[in-house]
Amino acid sequence: MVSLYFENKKLLIESKERNMNKRENLLYLSVEKPYASADTVKKA
């Protein structure tokens, strides 16, 4: 059940990335990561 959920999440993310062009994808990744780390710092 849990593995299926993660598999679906992964497929969703992969299809989302495929829909973006490469430039947008790189920009998206560079924006996502700092926010994620800032979020974990805030929670800690």
Q: Is the pTM of this model over 0.75?
A: no
Task: Say whether pLDDT at 4 is over 70.
Answer: yes
Higher-pLDDT residue of 30 and 13 is 13
pLDDT tens for each residue of 16-43: 767 666 766 666 666 656 555 555 556 6
**pLDDT of 7:** 81
8-24 burial: b if 16+ Cβ within 10 Å, else e: eeeeeeeeeeeeeeeee
Residue-number span of the structural domain to which 15 is assigned: 2-43
* Contact criterion met (CB below 8 Å) for 25 and 17: yes
**pLDDT of 36:** 55
Count of structural domains, the chain: 1
**pLDDT of 13:** 77
